[in-house]
Structures are given as C-alpha cells and as structure tokens.
Structure 1
C-alpha cells in the first residue's frame, strides 16, 4: 500500500488517463473528480473507475480527443455537447454556464448531451454552493432498472443530487441513486467476491439474487420497489429530464459501463441552479436554512447530509489517500 497526497493521486490518475488516450483537459477534470470521490470514502465512484475509463478510451467507447462545447443557448438555458468524451469536463462547463445564467436570470438549466458516466453528481454542484446558490443535478445511465411492474432493465440508476449553500459552513449536500443502492456497489462486491443483501438486485431472469455478478447481468431494484412503484416513477422523471429535453440517449440505448465492448453511451446530465436573491433574498434564505438545521440537530443522532463526506475529505487532505500497490501497478501499465 502507498499513501499519496491528493495532488499526487490526481497526477497519477491524470497520467494513466493520458496514456490511455485522453486529452489534458479531460484527464485533469476526471482526475479531480475521481480523487475527490475517493477522499470522501466513495470508492465505487473513485479510483476503482480509472481502469474502466482507460479501457473505454482505448476501445473507442470514449472519444479521448473530445473537448466540450456550447451547442445551444437561450436565456437561462444552455446545452453542452460532451462529444462522446468522459463527462467531467463537460459537466464543469455546464455548471459554470448555469451559475452565470442564474446570476442573470434568477434560475437556469444546463444540460450535457453525448456524455458518459459522471461520477458523484453532487460534487459537480460544489461550485453552485460556493456561489451562494441552490443546485439540483440529474443523470441517467445505462439500463439497470425495470419500469414499474417490469422485469427487463430500461432506466439507469438515475441519481438525483441537491446542494444548498450555507453561511460560512459546509453546504447541505444530498446525493442518492434511485436504485436501492448505487450499481457501483455491486461492482465493488463482485471484485471482492462478496454477496449482496437481498432486495438490491434481480438476475437476468428477473429473480431476486444475492450474487453481485448476477445482479450486474440482470437489473437493480428501484428504491422502495418491494412496496411501491414510486422509485421507478422517479427514475422515469429523471430519464426524461436528461434525454428527451437535451437529446441524449435513453439508458436502454447505451451499453453497460461494466463491459469492455459496447457503444459510446451518449447519455445525459442536467443541472438546475437557483439564485436565492431572485426570490426571498439571499440573506433571508441563509437565515431560514439555519433555522431548519438547528431544528434537525435538536435530535441526537441526526447527521446533516454531506457532513461525513466532508469530514473524510478534510482528513484525506491532511493525511492523503491509501492506494493499493496493485492499483498503482495497473495505472503504470495503462
């Protein structure tokens, strides 16, 4: 095991992606995102993805030469084209566009089309909190969940995220997959040879399974699927927001991220940014947030969303990241 500072980890990841064919902008943005995820304890969206992305770059599932561009813009709306590259640079561009347009119009939406896996959605919204605003993020992914009452995968796990700026404190950061768990957790369990709990996934025949490999070949279960179709309905809402509106592919049109061969996913992301100053006013908003937080914290055991991630991130900034030697060797061989 080796201990790397966050900058050393970013440099190592960026170099591995450059060797696999990513341009400097793409490699640097991706390295920032993956190291940030790892620093927050989110291994399924962190350094474990480097090999996957490198493989996709080499076999043409990702266009390593892509640079995001502004395709359309009108008032508070903008569309960024990722041009089949890795998602992170395009998402950075989209969020920056959304912040600028929210300052002008009060609210904005920026979509990303022809994209790829975008990692931890709420991390893209950190810049929104830094700007003193409220942000919402949505993404689709290759088919992993059935429609309500169905058996074959149609929707991705379709994460939803939100960030709420606070006055002089870490923002409230909310990020959840609409599957019972993120699909990356099955990937990690499969690599470790560990079973998964009942209620996470179905096999390819639509039967419940505790085998993560069978779950990856089958489908994930939406949140609350055992008692309600609500999770599947929310997944449908996200699917339409990030595809029909912005011209991205549906999840069932995109090959799985977890296979070597396949198409360029061309999936989508969308970010909505709201300036509190356009509504009740920034000061009022910040005051009201603290009233709610204080009420929540009256109960012992309540943990604010994002608090544990931020604690781990600060710890990693001080102590660095522990990276397995096998992973470093894999990157060096990339």
Structure 2
C-alpha cells in the first residue's frame, strides 16, 4: 500500500483541479480539505473522490469558480445559493459569514443550497471553534440513487446525511462529526477497493438480508442499501437532515420529483453561537473541561473525546505519510496522467 506526503499530494490534487478550470486559490483550498480528510483518517472523503470531482467538473456539473450568493434572509439569518461551486469553497464562504454574523448578533443561522459536495463537515465546525464559537450543522445529499434505507425499509430512500457539532475547548476542541448512516457510503467504497468487509449492521442486500460485503453497493448485481446507525434513532436524524438541510434551504430532498443526476449535491443548515453571549466566562469553559475529565476518568487512556481519533490519525499520517489502497492510488494516478501531469510529478507525492 503506497504512502503519500500530504504537502506533495495537495500540490498534485490542486494541479489536477486547475487543469479542469479551477482558479489556483479555489483548487488549493479544495485540495487542502480533501487531503485533510485523509490526514484525519476519513479516507471516504479524501483522495478516492478526486477523479469524481474532475469528472463532474468536465461534465459541467460543477461550476469551478462559483461563489455562494446570499439570496434571502437578513442580519443573523441568511440563505445562500452555491451555484454548484466546489463545496469546500462555498461552504467555507458561508461559514465565515455565519461566524461574522454571530460575532455581531450572538447567534447566526444560515442555509446553503445547490452546492457540490461539501466534503468533511468537521472542517466547518473547526472554523467555528477556532473563532471561539459553537457550530452545529445539518447536511443532506441529493446525488444519484439514494443509498440509505429508512428504518424498517429495504431500499435506499435518503443520503448519508451527516450532523456535526463543534464546541471550543482548550487545548483541543470537541468535534462531533458523523453520518446518520451506519457508516459513510464512501467508506463502503474504500472497503470495496481494498477487498475488505464492512462492519455488521451496516448493509442490507436488495432483498433486505444483512450483509458485510461491500459489493452489495459497488458490485455488479442489484444494489442494496446502507442502514441508519442506531435503528430508528439514526433514521429519525437522517429524515430531519432531509427536512432542515434540503426542504428548509430550498435545495430539495431525495423525494422522487427532485433530480438526482446533477453530481454530488449538498444542502446545509448551520448555526453558529457565541458562548460568551449565553454562558458565564470562564465558567462555561471550566464546566466543559470538568465534564470531559469526568467521563474520561471512567477508563483513563481508553475513553476518548469526539475529535481525538482524528487528531491521533493526523499525528501519525503527518509523519509516516497517508496510506492509500492500490485502487484509489491507481485511479488518482490515471486521472492525473489523463489531465497531462507528468509521471515524475505524480510519483513525487510518494513517500
């Protein structure tokens, strides 16, 4: 399994995106966020997506240099249209605007519709906590055939619909970032590429039978579906994401009348809250630390906080390189070659 240097990999991906029309600053930001996903151990949201981003741009499903436009709301409430720009670009733009509004008003709410794949939603929570804010994000995905079955169902009716919450805390914030499906669909693809099973309870076949075989989703036969995590609880959260991030923002849900052949289309509803406007300072921070210490004391060294696994993965991969399965590296290399990038430049990313 090859390992890649994060900085060289960023340069490679940015170079690929500029070749399909992205401005250098846009290409760099998208590349940084994709590589960061791999650094933090979320391989489902990193390099395996790059060929798809390139293909969607070439097909005109992405407007590579689109900026988000505010199309509704005022003051601390805003609705934005991403005009199908790269989500890592439009998502950061609207989150920054939300942070600025929260500084002024104490609380801001914003909706973003019609944007390409937002990537790892934890990136926007990280923006909030770096500004001393609490961030809460609901996301839906309308892209291709729905992949997540409702509780009690047997076929895909919704997207993986992540929820993310960021809370500032020294020295490292709490970043709770999870798909409402049992696992992200991209992780099924990573498992399929590597020839590995997925965890039990994550998939069903097209007949509704439990399966751990990633080919249920990516093989040649009839397609199965992902399950929600936690049974009816995850299903309920996924449905709420469809409503808040899709219906409320105007971006649409996975109901049949809405087209799902426009690439990876996301909607997001975000809230940014300045805790200093609501809680006592420094009492809030002290109480956050106290409860975190309390829960971790249950089994010191074994009980982690949300965000700890990602920080551990990043520390290891920054020094040892990012591991990519052979299929993902082969697809990335082939795509770069097709775009006219020299083999020496591609191989320069290898550790």
Q: State the TM-score, normalizing by the size of structure 1.
A: 0.89
Instruction: Tell me the equivalent position of 1:158.
Output: 161
Structure 2 Cα separation of the partners of residues 158 and 60 of structure 1? 24
Instruction: Tell me the equivalent position of 2:193.
Output: 191
Could you list the runs of 5+ residues in structure 2 that have no partner in the other structure?
Answer: 340-351
Instruction: Tell me the equivalent position of 1:240.
Output: 243
CA apart distance, 1:329? 4.6
CA apart distance, 1:35? 0.8
Q: Does the CA-based 8 Å contact 1:80-1:111 persist in structure 2?
A: yes
Question: In the TM superposition, what whole-angstrom CA distance separates every residue of 1:99-131 from its partner, at most 9, and x where no partner exists?
Answer: 111111111112211012222111221111111
- Say if 1:312 and 1:192 are closer, same or farther in 2 by CA, change over 3 A: closer
- Say if 1:35 and 1:265 are closer, same or farther in 2 by CA, change over 3 A: closer
Is 1:222 paired with 2:228? yes
Structure 1 Cα separation of the partners of residues 281 and 118 of structure 2? 30
Instruction: Tell me the equivalent position of 1:60.
Output: 60
- Say if 1:319 and 1:212 are closer, same or farther in 2 by CA, change over 3 A: closer
Mean Cα displacement is larger for which, 302-311 or 317-326? 317-326
Query: Which structure 2 residues correspond to residues 192-211 of structure 1 after superposition, within 5 A?
Result: 192-211=194-213
CA apart distance, 1:186? 1.0
- Say if 1:138 and 1:9 are closer, same or farther in 2 by CA, change over 3 A: same
Is 1:250 paired with 2:249? no
CA apart distance, 1:304? 1.4
- Say if 1:210 and 1:315 are closer, same or farther in 2 by CA, change over 3 A: closer
SS in 2 for 1:80: strand
SS in 1 for 2:83: coil
Instruction: Tell me the equivalent position of 1:80.
Output: 80
Query: Which structure 2 residues correspond to residues 110-121 of structure 1 after superposition, within 5 A?
Result: 110-121=110-121
CA apart distance, 1:223? 1.1
- May I ask how many residue pairs the two structures share in their alignment? 324
C-alpha RMSD of matched pairs (Å): 2.2
CA apart distance, 1:87? 0.8
Instruction: Tell me the equivalent position of 1:27.
Output: 27
Is 1:309 paired with 2:310? yes
Instruction: Tell me the equivalent position of 1:42.
Output: 42
Q: Does the CA-based 8 Å contact 1:137-1:269 persist in structure 2?
A: yes
Structure 2 Cα separation of the partners of residues 254 and 285 of structure 1? 45
1:148 to 147, 151, 155: 151
Structure 1 Cα separation of the partners of residues 28 and 251 of structure 2? 24
Q: Does the CA-based 8 Å contact 2:20-2:54 persist in structure 1?
A: yes
CA apart distance, 1:207? 3.5
CA apart distance, 1:32? 1.3
CA apart distance, 1:320? 4.3
Q: State the TM-score, normalizing by the size of structure 2.
A: 0.85
SS in 1 for 2:141: coil
Instruction: Tell me the equivalent position of 2:296.
Output: 297
1:178 to 177, 180, 187: 180
Instruction: Tell me the equivalent position of 1:259.
Output: none
Structure 2 Cα separation of the partners of residues 66 and 131 of structure 1? 25
Instruction: Tell me the equivalent position of 1:100.
Output: 100
Instruction: Tell me the equivalent position of 1:287.
Output: 286
Q: Does the CA-based 8 Å contact 2:151-2:227 persist in structure 1?
A: no
Question: In the TM superposition, what whole-angstrom CA distance separates every residue of 1:138-165 from its partner, at most 9, and x where no partner exists?
Answer: 2111322233333332211111111110
CA apart distance, 1:305? 1.3
Question: In the TM superposition, what whole-angstrom CA distance separates every residue of 1:43-75 from its partner, at most 9, and x where no partner exists?
Answer: 111111111111111122222242222222312
